[in-house]
Amino acid sequence: MGADSFHSDSSTAIICLRAIFQGRVQGVGFRYRTSRLARKHPISGFVKNLPDGTVELVVQAGDQSILDEFFDEMMLTFATNVANVSIQEMAPDTSRQGFSIER
């Protein structure tokens, strides 16, 4: 059951999630490795360090299963680094293309 089944037009609903990662997530290649993982999936968004020592990830896709797969892969990759992650849904940025590391 895809999100587009609820729409009469050909557009797909974009799901956008914002995640804040806590733990040993700065200075360990977290942003670089996240960017590499993101490029393996049909998603867009960004990752950036925050001043409080956490890392912010905003990611969007046209299908929840794509985001689930991406987050599963991230949690496996960073299992020893992440102490806590909080995820919330937010309004998508339909102008965003690709995935970037922001500073």
Give 73-82 pLDDT, tens digit per residue. 999 999 999 9
Share of the chain above pLDDT 70, in %: 88
Q: Is the pLDDT of residue 9 over 50?
A: no
- Answer whether CATH 3.40.50.10440 is correct for domain 12-91: no
Q: 31-70 pLDDT, tens per residue? A: 999 999 999 999 999 999 999 999 999 999 999 999 999 9
Identify whether 31 is a catalytic site residue.
yes
Catalytic option among 31, 33, 96, 103: 31
- With H, G, I as helix, E, B as strand and everything else as coil, classify residue 77: helix
Give the pTM: 0.86
Residue 103 annotated in active site: no
Distance CA 90, CA 63 (A): 15
Catalytic residue among 49, 81, 84, 96: 49
